[in-house]
A and B are shown apart, each in its own frame.
Chain A
Amino acid sequence: MSFRDILDSGKFAVTAEIGPPKGTDIKEMYHHIEVLKGKIDVANVTDNQSAVMRISSLAVCKIVLDNGMEPVLQMTCRDRNRIGLQADLLGASVLGIHNVLCLTGDHVNAGDHKQAKSVYDVESVQLLKIVEGMNNGKDMSGNEMKGATNFYAGAVVTPEANPLEPQLVKFEKKVKAGAKFFQTQAIYDMEKFKSFMAYARKFPVKVLAGIVVLKSAGMANFMNKNVPGISVPQVLIDEIKAAGKEKALETGINIAARHIKQLKDEKICDGVHIMAIGMEDKVPMIMERAGLL
């Protein structure tokens, strides 16, 4: 079943990230693909994540596909103009990659090539419109193409953005521009997320909750302080602290599993997007504990 079919069928979907490495040694990445294969529904391949230069998302999507998993091509607008983006979309399409996540992309300031010229010729909302146009056989300038694409397009949303209202204006624009599924920034507060979902359910889109495993209380505090739109409630930080240093990661994994189970059992959203960030090995364990395997 394709990603689109899984979500349309109402099955609780699980996606996890594959982060392409910097360099040509892809042994570890292959290992991650092996670990995740048959467990998750689709693999989400990041695009020069955090503006750090790595193997292109497109190339890794093809590797994922060749290894028997369905990929989601993450595409940011930071590094390519409208010509480059469309060319890569066509490239992806002929390679059999049919899911695309349209992102604006972190600023180069966050990455390892801070002197780069950012592109942002178009941005996430406009990229979604480009994809929609190409699905209808037309490029962005309205030129007829020989053969249309068939992308299932998604976007991201930050349910705990501060302030929230402008973020929701953008969410609605993304829906209008053709986003069919959304992945969220990492969420930790189930009650707050439920109220976001009560709002999001008004739109004809599928929502995958973002899950990031807390490795320690320090990590939670760091994210609260430094990552826009992430807020880990104090009770969770206390829970990890109470478990002690040795058991911190174990507790973080249990919290993630507990959240996923609740999201599924209470049908709060349509699936989860697990951002393992170096802990791809642990994803099957999280899924098991969430009762998904």
Chain B
Amino acid sequence: MITINHLSHEFVVGKKGKQTFIPILKDISFEVEKGEIVTIVGRSGSGKSTLLNLVSGFIRPKEGEIWINGEKVSQMNESKFADFRIKNLGFIFQSFQLIPSMTAFQNVELPLILKGISEAARKKQTEEMLAKVGLLDYQDHYPGELSGGQQQRVSIARALIVNPPIILADEPTGSLDSETEEDLLKFIKELNTDLGITFLIITHDEKVAAIGHRTIELKDGRIKEGVLI
């Protein structure tokens, strides 16, 4: 489902003329099979988010290739990647990334609007999805009027609404208390088993790492030998 080949990345800092290159990822290669949950762990600053941002297409790699669902995304232009993303990828962010001026309903509906789905179909699907995450009664609430756990469920509903085969999550439980964290992990497992959704999850939390069929540890921008289980 996801194939990473010899991926390297570095950040450029400083003004022109005085630029320094900071290598973050060095020659990363791994694969995520269809229906798999893979977790990536590592210390803060080890390059986990950078890796996920590369897979998400938010930044472009310096070297190497990324294949998702049979397509080579590492060379796609922005416009093409956008269309690819809405069809194939769902996102769960640590800080939810809901649009504050939109209600829960509107936030969940947004990907369907972007896909050009008709209004009637959108309403039905959105309501179903909100019911699935248990937030139908909260559909007219703005993100600011919801708890952290509820906001995360809205963001999951938004990720799921377009039926993506893959969900990418960067520290999905980072802003949640342990009880809501457990609920979320249960839900992820359900989605994986019931719908066969592939997950690539980044975390520094052992409990989260444990739901992965496999766990990859990053250290100093490289995959730590022997931890690839």
A and B pair up: no
Q: Which residues of B contact A (CB under 8 A)?
A: none
Q: Which residues of A contact B (CB under 8 A)?
A: none
